[in-house]
Structure 1
């Protein structure tokens, strides 16, 4: 036994030696004068070749690792040189530099690290013997209770020495770790499935070289390869791009179309023909209450104009453009909007069916037959058989002595009677207009005021006024003559009207010279020379002036009237004044 140990061996290193304390990657060094294996003071080092209890050594190694900070452990490892020759790990004292062995022995060379990983100190073994596994004899319960790497708070297990000096970016990360600093992988179908950009750093799950040099995905080791469906993702990617492109292109086309139409409507000239059209004429009927685009659409459908906007534009530019009345117009086909408007404003273009004031129904029927190219008497027959279905008012009289129940209800106005239409359509339109105009007048109040039998007789008075008068002033005086002669106390004419117009009506004539014998002896109900009071019904279709005059007659006491020249009517109040004018009239007519 030597002075420094129990058996032959190398002398320990001196504490001042630069390599003092480099015992491999081990725990903290013992303090000066203390042993690494306990708290006992020991002035001589342990024999490095002495057999130690593996359990004790391992237990002390764990305690030293737990007491020494991780940074100090790492720093000690980085300062440890790489030995070229294999050597055993030895327990060294904590102080002094290596001293020369008084017996001339050198410390045995430490074995070269062969690629294995020794995370802690190994127990000293006899020279030439195989090292023993310190964990092989450790009880399982103790290993589970004192494992410093099995808790979340512990530092991660130390890396093998071969990987510690490698660059951080080259160290392999566990596939289950999550790195918050690493960019996350896109998961949207639009972005996944595309080829990885060149130079991208491998991500978790990328292919990495295996130990044998082959490449495999990390997910192949524990799950499915995320690149296994690359072909399908690329296909979906292409479809998505195509759909997006189509949507964008369609949206652009739609916006362009809407914008073009808006520009054309607001700023572009509307489609239009040029000139006054072809020689082909067409009859166009404009209903009552039609304005602007209503008229323009009718003209467009008839082929007169090319677009409604062209006509409306011309109508807005013309000061008289909105004065077009309902009626029938003869126009040319393919006219410009301005030309069509000018022709419609010209009365010569109007082809409306016009009923003058005071016209009798018999004349209206004949004109409708002629306009519609019908057999004579066709419209008169329809009027007689379909009178009740044409819309007569409730107060219309159904006296059997009436010659025509529609007399007085074909209101004087202009009507569209286009070729190809039916006679009853025209008649119904006229009756409707009459009802509309009569509703504006208080005929019932007038009938009560002058002791008449309802609106029907007021309409009859208006028809007589229309037939006998010439002017608006004549109408009011003529209405007063009628009401004065109908008075019960009228002893001058004994309530007889004695109107030649009524006698001409029953004979469908218009004569001035009437034989007194004939007029005094004809018993027809419409002969006011024979019968007192009003005739059974109207003798024509009065206009608005005659109607208003019947509602508001004069009150000057007029009883008689006569026209000497057919242009002016003279009114008188007494029989003598009337007889002097009557004698003058006979002298002018040569009646003597």
Structure 2
């Protein structure tokens, strides 16, 4: 009896059988066997052998106790207790050897070779064993010992187990945890819990130098990894903290109105809140730029902070710094008044920069062409100072440490901007002048002789009327005391007519007709506008009775009457 018991038929040998379903072997070989065993007539029943046929064969031959051998390679293997029923059913033409005599099994039973006649058959073209055609009853070649042979698969219960893989030779490097490596932070000599692997125990039991060196390398590697990860986490934490603080936290800010240590801060023209904050932070006034920007936004007059030089204290709160910058007390800019001559401006710059007197004047005389003058202001003959009229009156951030060249450039640049915006080049001819240089000179005269902004337009008309060569009042001479005082570098009002008429100098308008060679001071915007838009009332003369306002007249007789009144008032005083 087989382990499957009796039934309709034996179980086909699958899925282990690589040739399961191959009609070439079971179809052709079994068909030939059935024809030979039954007189050449095919049997019309299932190709599977029945258990009755198998039992009959057992009674006749008694082969249930025999050892069935098959060849594999150069040797053989004996199989006992093998399920001959399944093997015979699956391989009906397989040859078995019993006591040296060769028998073949057919579906009808076992017989000696050649007892059922000689029925030749051709080899199956799809036969995987590559058998050559032989006569039935002749000796069939045994190809199991050849290299091309394909031995039949062994029964599942009798197959040899797969050989165990050989252990890798010792290479001197640590291949992994199966070679005795402990847990990541396990101490040396500590056993792994729950691991009874002989390989692991044998690896830990060697105790050689290689084992110690491996543990030492592992320890160093762990230390390096910890340091790298620790440093990375620290860096991420540091930058993350500052990122959060900058984006979402309150801006750092000092408390109070300062520590008493004064500093000078220069705020450039057109600076916004962040630029102002950077300047103050660099000087140590505020703790952060964001705090200063917030304070500017919170103060209703925050937009009123102008460019210039400010005297502040270190460690001020942002709010107190903004409040002080809005007060005139903090501003220490260099203020250039309207009508100031260049010689006085040079002295102010020297004092602010704390350089020897005359330093800035020397720079102006030597390098005036490099300071940004427009083309129409260059190459003018007979000038006392080529920069006169271009040190524009305004507020300038001038502090110790700056260069005179830088200060002069900023003033010339401011003048160019103002003159371009007012249109001196385009409008000069509209008032009867040849060029903007002459218009700037007229504005400087208006600035010097006028006493108030209300006088400038009338004063400009006086200049234009007197410049007419054939005018009946002055015959083309300006006769301004201011031009004589400019040449003398003075500001006197008591000048004798004899002195004025006899001093030969291009700037002395009592001696020469027409305009002086160039401006005699630095006019402001109102004087420039007055020169561009004079009145047309026929004014030729003017006099200031109180030093604050001017009286204008059209004839010399009217003018002389006012002069007499003024002299009488002086004699009484």
TM-score by length of 2: 0.68
C-alpha separation in 1, matches of 2:9 and 2:462? 151
Q: Which has the larger radius of gyration?
A: 1
Q: Higher mean Cα deviation, 142-151 or 375-384?
A: 142-151
One of 57, 64, 88 as aligned partner of 1:120: 88
One of 509, 519, 525 as aligned partner of 2:490: 509
Q: Say if 2:441 and 2:520, in contact at 8 Å, map to a contact too.
A: yes
Structure 1, residues 307-360: CA drift from partner, whole Å, max 9, x if none?
212211212222222322111111212222222222222211111111111111
C-alpha separation in 1, matches of 2:42 and 2:229? 66
Q: Say if 2:376 and 2:436, in contact at 8 Å, map to a contact too.
A: yes
One of 271, 285, 305 as aligned partner of 1:290: 271
C-alpha separation in 2, matches of 1:66 and 1:450? 139
Structure 1, residues 221-262: CA drift from partner, whole Å, max 9, x if none?
xxx99xx9x974769x999x9999999999988876666444
Q: Say if 1:23 and 1:89, in contact at 8 Å, map to a contact too.
A: no
The question of 1:145 aligning with 2:124 is answered yes
Partner of 1:96: none
Partner of 2:104: 134
One of 209, 213, 216 as aligned partner of 2:164: 216
The question of 1:273 aligning with 2:254 is answered yes
Q: Greater helix percent: which structure?
A: 2
Structure 1, residues 131-190: CA drift from partner, whole Å, max 9, x if none?
743179589995843998879xxxx98975x84xxxxxxx97xxxxxxxxxxxxxxxxxx
Q: Higher mean Cα deviation, 241-250 or 519-528?
A: 241-250
Q: Say if 2:476 and 2:514, in contact at 8 Å, map to a contact too.
A: yes
1:305 is paired with a residue whose SS is coil
Partner of 2:465: 484
The question of 1:384 aligning with 2:365 is answered yes
> 1:437 Cα shift?
1.3
The question of 1:321 aligning with 2:290 is answered no
What are the ranges of 5 or more consecutive residues in structure 2 without an aligned counterpart? 13-31, 67-79, 106-111, 131-150, 185-217
One of 490, 500, 524 as aligned partner of 2:505: 524
What are the ranges of 5 or more consecutive residues in structure 1 without an aligned counterpart? 1-18, 27-54, 92-107, 164-170, 173-207
Matches within 5 A, 1:23-172: 60=37, 69=46, 89-90=58-59, 111-112=64-65, 114-118=80-84, 119-120=87-88, 132-134=102-104, 137=113, 142=121, 144-145=123-124, 160=155, 163=157
RMSD of equivalent CA atoms: 4.7
> 1:264 Cα shift?
2.0
TM-score by length of 1: 0.66
C-alpha separation in 1, matches of 2:37 and 2:323? 120
Structure 1, residues 465-521: CA drift from partner, whole Å, max 9, x if none?
111112222111111111111123311111111212212212222222222222222
> 1:459 Cα shift?
0.4
The question of 1:308 aligning with 2:289 is answered yes
Structure 1, residues 270-309: CA drift from partner, whole Å, max 9, x if none?
2222222222222211121221211222222222222212
One of 385, 391, 411 as aligned partner of 1:430: 411
Q: Say if 1:466 and 1:543, in contact at 8 Å, map to a contact too.
A: yes
The question of 1:493 aligning with 2:441 is answered no
Q: Say if 1:25 and 1:120, in contact at 8 Å, map to a contact too.
A: no
C-alpha separation in 1, matches of 2:8 and 2:404? 130
Partner of 2:377: 396
Partner of 1:449: 430
Q: Higher mean Cα deviation, 137-146 or 241-250?
A: 241-250
Number of matched residues? 458
